[in-house]
Amino acid sequence: MKQNSADFNPGNDDVFRRIATRYDFLCDIFSFGIHRLWKRAMARTIAQNNTGIVLDIASGTGDIALRLTSKLPEGSTIIASDICQPMLDIAASKANTMTGPRANLDFQILDAHNLSKIPSASVDVYAISFAMKICERDLLLKEAVRVLRPGGRFYCLEASQIPLGWLHKTYLKYMEWCIPFIARIATGGDRSAHDYLLRGIHDMPDQLTFCAELETYGFKDVSYNNFSLGIVALHCAVKPKLGT
């Protein structure tokens, strides 16, 4: 099983710097706007079960972090982090337009593979959406386990597999034909902006394989919810309390 489903290396390709200003538009185009529902459901699930410090990894333009600010109680803190400054700049400018009571937002440049600025056992929630497929899962998951406090929760929203094999194959074929066509227009011909997406969708482990993988890192109570038939899944897991 490939560790980095999309073979993506931010050191080799600054695609997110190039597309930062168009990223939100591209999400709407690629998912027909449905990514908003998936992200709303993820934020709702996190807010229902948690308070304290939430570390949102690879926040991009802040879709999860900003949804959480109005849902978590005042006094909670959300660390919105990414490796790409232009993506975080957009998240920060969107945060500036928000009004009403909200949790604290702290923007930090962090590499998901090496969170040395985050102390061990210091965060209550680790959240990542649509970035697992472009990271080295082994490095990322070791860091996730390290920074979570015992009893802390892990959430991952990511492309997954429709359980009906024939339907999943049809979906992949549709994506292979449709995405490059739409993307060529939307990105002005920037191939890597959609190539990484297709590779990642193709090679992300399915729901149960990813559950089993999370367990090998010591997570317990691993579960998932399918969205849109399993095109996307939200995986949840708990870092065990000491002695359990």
Taking Cα atoms as reference points, which of 121, 133, 114, 127 lies closest to residue 56?
127
| Six-digit token string for 227 | 């969205």
* Candidates 98-106, 108-116, 142-150, 211-219; binding stretch for ligand SAM (CB under 6 A): 108-116
What distance in Å separates the CA atoms of residue 54 and residue 83, rounded to the nearest whole number? 17
127: helix, strand or coil: strand
Q: What single letter denotes the amino acid at residue 40?
A: R
The least CB distance from residue 44 to ligand SAM, in Å, is: 15
Asked if residue 87 binds ligand SAM (CB under 6 A), the reply is: yes
Three-state SS for 109?
A: strand
Collapsing DSSP to helix, strand or coil, 233 comes out as strand
Residue ranges of the alpha helices (H) in 70-156?
85-96, 137-147
- Binding segment for ligand SAM (CB under 6 A), chosen from 99-107, 124-132, 177-185, 208-216, is 124-132
> What part of residues 192-221 is at the interface with ligand SAM (CB under 6 A)?
none
* d(C-alpha 170, C-alpha 196), whole Å: 19
Q: Is 58 in the site for ligand SAM (CB under 6 A)?
A: yes
Count of residues near ligand SAM by CB under 6 A: 20
Per-residue CA distances from 211 to 141, 164, 206, 220 (Å): 12, 18, 9, 10
Stretch that binds ligand SAM, among 79-87, 162-170, 206-214, 224-232 (CB under 6 A): 79-87
Looking at beta carbons, which residue is closest to ligand SAM?
60
Is residue 134 a contact residue for ligand SAM (CB under 6 A)? yes
Near ligand SAM by CB under 6 A: residue from 5, 66, 76, 111: 111
Stretch that binds ligand SAM, among 55-63, 70-78, 94-102, 178-186 (CB under 6 A): 55-63
Q: Strand order in 104-109's β-sheet? A: 104-109, 77-82, 53-57, 123-129, 148-159, 232-238, 220-227
Q: Is 158 in the site for ligand SAM (CB under 6 A)?
A: no
Q: Which is nearer to ligand SAM, 131 or 231 (CB)?
A: 131
Q: Which two tokens stand for residue 165?
A: 């094999």
| Residue whose CB is less far from ligand SAM, 220 or 228 | 228
Among positions 14-33, residues that touch ligand SAM (CB under 6 A) are 16, 27
Considering the rule CB under 6 A, would residue 36 count as an interface residue with ligand SAM? no
Residues lying near ligand SAM in the complex (CB under 6 A) are found at 10, 16, 27, 58-60, 63-64, 82-84, 87, 111-113, 129-131, 134-135
